[in-house]
Structure 1
């Protein structure tokens, strides 16, 4: 009997992809903190995860090795952040402290997903070996 990884892992591989994309967006904001006119971007994680879930439920898996992967566009969930601080005159909306906190939070959530996936694979491996 073959193992269906989509059923075994659920939405968790999608969360890792989204968290990696979110880390890129936040890192880009931090890198452009001193760029005049740069507008900080954010990502609606819940919306993107819901899109990933609906695509998984619609059966977007490949049925043949030569088929292309059906993937979501990760840019659809990006939006400009509403600034929490007054404009300093250069038009930049990056709040470095906020971005650092968001990056740390995202990093912890990513690590939690990695730990969950690792545990799931250990369980699958144990099941395949017959509990040894």
Structure 2
């Protein structure tokens, strides 16, 4: 009965966790903009999301033991996406501006990617919030 209600929340949860991971990768790129020889990295969010969706509900619910006992009905944590191959397949970014020290970080591009990802993260949070409010209204009969 609750599966249709929670399926959408699981999708948004997966998206939120992948967005958080991408934000960390982009922040690392920005932090290392002046490090000689640093190669910028990123991953394909869409491909990672497709990989999460293709795992199926039976694998997603019990992918990692969470809480005590590892019950498959418990909520998943961020570590539950650790087994997603595309999440861990961080690729090197294509260099757009040559630099003498070998650093491939294009600071303007990385900042734009960071802001875009932050906006997407915020919108995902708003979708989750709206979905939870809708479910609470239905439960309370309002």
The alignment covers a number of residue pairs equal to 127
Show the counterpart of 1:42: 42
- Report SS of the residue matched to 1:66: coil
Show the counterpart of 1:81: 93
Show the counterpart of 2:9: 9
- After TM superposition, give the deviation of residue 31 of structure 1 in Å: 0.2
Q: 1:8 to 1:105 in 2, by over 3 A?
A: closer
Identify the match of residue 69 of structure 2 among 61, 66, 70: 66
Q: What do you get for the CA RMSD once the two structures are aligned?
A: 2.1
- After TM superposition, give the deviation of residue 125 of structure 1 in Å: 0.6
Bigger proportion of residues as helix: 2
- Could you tell me which runs of 5 or more consecutive residues in structure 1 were left unpaired when the two chains were aligned: none
* Residues 1:114 and 2:117 are matched in the alignment: no
**Structure 1 ranges of 4+ moved more than 3 A:** 68-71
Q: 1:7 to 1:105 in 2, by over 3 A?
A: same
- CA distance in 2 between partners of 1:124 and 1:32 (Å): 43
